[in-house]
């Protein structure tokens, strides 16, 4: 791992969490994502992954994250205000944009404080990280207590199994072998573990052989669910770092314009739908053979899902979701409660209520556009 000075961080302070508790409305998030609710105690990340889209966000310096030291106090106030209004949100994702257990956390313990507040107030969390720190005391103890009450799952991002490949692309993160050991420790303590195969990169970690090996590693580590998401790029320059991890022929194939297509109504590109479907199908079949749940992140190929929901909320006691395209077109899933548009209007936090309204309004527009649905891989007709 790269050396990291725990003192190299900036501090940000806020008066309320209203607008910070939910990501902004967008095509993919408003259409597909249940976990638009975020808890981001840091901005910027010391893991310095070459493919991370947050490096494009203005004002962020990967080696010098922003620590939001007021978050535990502000979370308490926001949750208490929502509770008085009788509003239950789906699980908050800690974190949605940057890693909550990045190197600065070892010294600051900001995420640890948030875990303790969440347990005290009964806040369900999807803990999402690329760090093995989550499996070390005292963080492990805090996560285990939340999970023991059905209030937490841990999503560990493991895209590559070869430590040397990961070192070239994720220089500040713990190696995959260490993350898999962390998954084993967490699952051994009764914490539901989800592995994120993200990003799924053509010709690097997408072969049938790799996907079989990946599913076997997930099973051996005690994971119960796998999520896959293909690589997205903003420009062709974003592919350059993969030269360090691939053979010349494989990189030439990755860089072929014929492989990529523009995302609907956006500037980013992702592999063409046919390639994605085939790769996802192989990953899902490999997971199913080992008794693992499998789902896609921000994709419309609903027929490829092999689990009740994409995030792994079904592994929690608190099963609250928000309406997405799936629910609008196919109806609510049994066994869940839902945050509906009319419920969002009861949210007492003004900025949170405004952002939720934007998500629902965009969702309805997308659901009514059959051409756009077809591009998203979603059948327009109710099934």
| Predicted local distance difference test score (pLDDT) of residue 104 | 87
CB 215 within 8 A of CB 253: no
Distance CA 77, CA 299 (A): 34
| Predicted local distance difference test score (pLDDT) of residue 14 | 66
| Predicted local distance difference test score (pLDDT) of residue 206 | 98
| Predicted local distance difference test score (pLDDT) of residue 156 | 98
| Predicted local distance difference test score (pLDDT) of residue 383 | 39
| Predicted local distance difference test score (pLDDT) of residue 222 | 98
Distance CA 310, CA 327 (A): 13
Distance CA 190, CA 102 (A): 23
In the block, tokens 């190197």 appear at 103
Backbone angles phi, psi at 31, to 5 degrees: -80, -45
Give how far the C-alpha of residue 276 lies from the chain's centroid of Cα atoms, to the nearest Å.
18
Strand partners, 92: 125
Distance CA 123, CA 96 (A): 16
pTM of structure: 0.94
| Predicted local distance difference test score (pLDDT) of residue 7 | 45
CB 201 within 8 A of CB 284: no
| Predicted local distance difference test score (pLDDT) of residue 48 | 83
Mean pLDDT by 10 residues, the chain (383 residues): 47 77 94 95 86 66 76 94 94 92 92 97 97 98 98 98 97 96 98 98 98 98 98 94 96 98 88 97 98 97 96 96 94 95 93 96 95 88 47
User: 10-375: which CATH topology?
Assistant: TIM Barrel (3.20.20)
Q: Catalogue the E-assigned strands of 189-259.
A: 193-200, 225-230
Query: Beta strand pairing status for 260-262 and 269-271?
Result: antiparallel
Estimate the crossing angle of helix 176-188 against helix 208-220, to 10 degrees: 40
| Predicted local distance difference test score (pLDDT) of residue 265 | 74
Distance CA 125, CA 71 (A): 15
| Domain extents in the chain | 10-375
């Amino acid at each position: 791992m790269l050396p990291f000075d725990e003192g190299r961080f900036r501090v940000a302070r806020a008066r309320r969490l209203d607008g910070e508790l939910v990501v902004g409305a967008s095509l993919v998030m408003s259409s597909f994502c249940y976990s638009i609710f975020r808890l981001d105690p840091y901005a910027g990340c010391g893991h310095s992954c070459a493919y991370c889209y947050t490096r494009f966000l203005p004002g962020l310096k990967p080696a010098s994250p922003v620590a939001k030291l007021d978050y535990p106090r502000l979370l308490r106030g926001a949750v208490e205000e929502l509770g008085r209004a009788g509003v239950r949100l789906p699980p908050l994702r800690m974190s949605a944009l940057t890693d909550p257990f990045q190197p600065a956390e070892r010294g600051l313990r900001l995420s640890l404080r948030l875990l303790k507040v969440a347990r005290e107030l009964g806040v369900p969390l999807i803990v999402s990280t690329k760090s093995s720190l989550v499996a070390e005391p005292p963080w492990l103890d805090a996560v285990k207590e939340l999970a023991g009450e059905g209030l937490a799952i841990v999503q560990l991002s493991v895209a590559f199994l070869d430590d040397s490949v990961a070192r070239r692309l994720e220089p500040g993160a713990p190696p995959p072998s260490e993350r898999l050991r962390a998954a084993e420790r967490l699952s051994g303590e009764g914490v539901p573990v989800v592995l994120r195969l993200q990003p799924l990169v053509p010709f690097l970690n997408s072969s049938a052989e790799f996907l079989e090996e990946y599913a076997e590693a997930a099973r051996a580590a005690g994971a119960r669910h796998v999520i896959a998401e293909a690589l997205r790029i903003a420009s062709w320059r974003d592919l350059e770092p993969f030269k360090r991890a691939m053979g010349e022929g494989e990189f030439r194939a990755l860089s072929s314009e014929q492989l990529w297509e523009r995302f609907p109504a956006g500037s980013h590109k992702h592999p063409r739908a046919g390639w994605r479907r085939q790769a996802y199908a192989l990953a899902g079949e490999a997971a199913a053979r080992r008794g693992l749940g499998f789902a896609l992140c921000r994709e419309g190929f609903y027929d490829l899902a092999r689990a009740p929901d994409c995030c792994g909320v079904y592994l929690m006691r608190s099963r609250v979701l928000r309406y997405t395209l799936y629910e609008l077109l196919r109806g609510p899933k049994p066994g869940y409660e839902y945050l509906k548009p009319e419920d969002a209007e009861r949210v007492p936090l003004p900025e949170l209520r405004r952002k939720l309204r934007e998500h629902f309004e965009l969702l309805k527009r997308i659901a009514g556009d059959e051409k756009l649905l077809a591009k998203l891989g979603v059948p327009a007709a109710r099934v």
